[in-house]
Amino acid sequence: MIHFENVSVRFGGTTALSEVTLEVPAGMLCVLVGPSGSGKSTLMKLVNRLVEPSAGRVLVRGSDVAGQDPARLRRSIGYVMQSTGLFPHRTVAANIGTVPRLLGWDSSRIAARVADLLEMVQLDPGLAERLPGALSGGQAQRVGLARALAADPDILLMDEPFGAVDPITRRDLRAELRRIHAETGKTILLVTHDPEEALELASQVAVLRDGRLVAEGPPAALVAPDAPDFARTLLGGGQPGLRRLSLLPAEVAQDARPAPADAPALDEGATLADALSRMAETGRDVLALGQGSLRLEAVLARGR
């Protein structure tokens, strides 16, 4: 869906990106993570031509963006910024309706879409006529997300979308984004410098360092012992083994043998880290999991 082919970007004497090649397949939630100045935002802005490559090509939906009209390209791609970028003198409803209006939708279609989107991002319909200045940070981010989704783009770019909100709101917004991604199947490219956020949200993680792509793959693979050191240290947060267990569903280590009748049961949807925690709490090394069991040695084997 998005293909960076050997892309380099130079700004005067600064090299922001060096020979990055990355394929983001349709339906992925690809998180770009890396230290400040590593080139994450620059890589994202190549997709909607806010930045042009100095070398290499960027293909979106199979065609080189260099040959595409920037305005039309941008209308076809949702964009969520850290600062929200909401128009301060326009109501929430008018902000959300920006792209549909540019596309010439009639007012009743826009109004219906705004109502649907407020529901999708779980905002009270009563907020529609407010100005952005009268919203909380979390509400403003939800409006920003609704605006980006308005014309139902198949690609969404999100640059540090949850950077400016408190930790609890951040957690809620992440959960919302996961739900929306699962429901809509959109291809999402999201920038963060928060490794925990990267692991929690991503189906694909791309790790940047000094303008180079140093690792790419599914979250659990990038905290595995054979992952490149830089990625494992950055994403592992000092506990790569536990982080890995927290990314794997308990079922991957399920044993067909039944558990003893008095074994504590593990809830559906639990991860291997949840299982380890339950074992530590109860002092038991076998848990009941569905019709079978989960054994400590099988859990530990998956952390490696």
Ligand X SMILES: Nc1ncnc2c1ncn2[C@@H]1O[C@H](COP(=O)(O)OP(=O)(O)OP(=O)(O)O)[C@@H](O)[C@H]1O
Of 39-47, 134-142, 240-248, 257-265, the window that binds ligand X (rule: CB under 6 A) is 39-47
Minimum CB separation from ligand X for residue 46, in Å? 10
- Any contact of residue 36 with ligand X (CB under 6 A)? yes
Three-class SS of residue 120? helix
**Which residues within the stretch 186-245 sit at the binding site for ligand X (CB under 6 A)?**
193
Contacts of 143 (CB under 8 A, 6+ apart): 84, 86, 92, 95, 96, 121, 123, 127, 132, 135
Minimum CB separation from ligand X for residue 202, in Å? 16
Minimum CB separation from ligand X for residue 170, in Å? 16
Angle at alpha carbon of residue 278, lines to 304 and 237, rounded to 5°? 45
Exactly one of 2, 20, 24, 34 binds ligand X (CB under 6 A); which one? 34
- Any contact of residue 37 with ligand X (CB under 6 A)? yes
Three-class SS of residue 201? helix
Using alpha carbons, list the distances in angstroms from residue 82 to 85, 102, 235. 8, 23, 22
Residue 137 and residue 118: Cα distance in Å, rounded?
Answer: 16
Count of CA atoms in the C-beta half-sphere (13 A) of 18: 9
Residue nearer to ligand X on the CB measure, 80 or 93: 80
Residue nearer to ligand X on the CB measure, 11 or 87: 11
Of 29-37, 134-142, 231-239, 245-253, the window that binds ligand X (rule: CB under 6 A) is 29-37
Q: Which residue has the tokens 């536990």?
A: 242
Residue nearer to ligand X on the CB measure, 10 or 57: 10
Nearest-Å Rg of the Cα atoms of the chain is 22
Minimum CB separation from ligand X for residue 231, in Å? 15
Exactly one of 7, 31, 38, 232 binds ligand X (CB under 6 A); which one? 38
Residue 286 and residue 159: Cα distance in Å, rounded?
Answer: 43
- Any contact of residue 42 with ligand X (CB under 6 A)? yes
**Which residues within the stretch 253-272 sit at the binding site for ligand X (CB under 6 A)?**
none
Residues forming the site for ligand X (CB under 6 A) = 11, 14, 16, 34, 36-42, 193
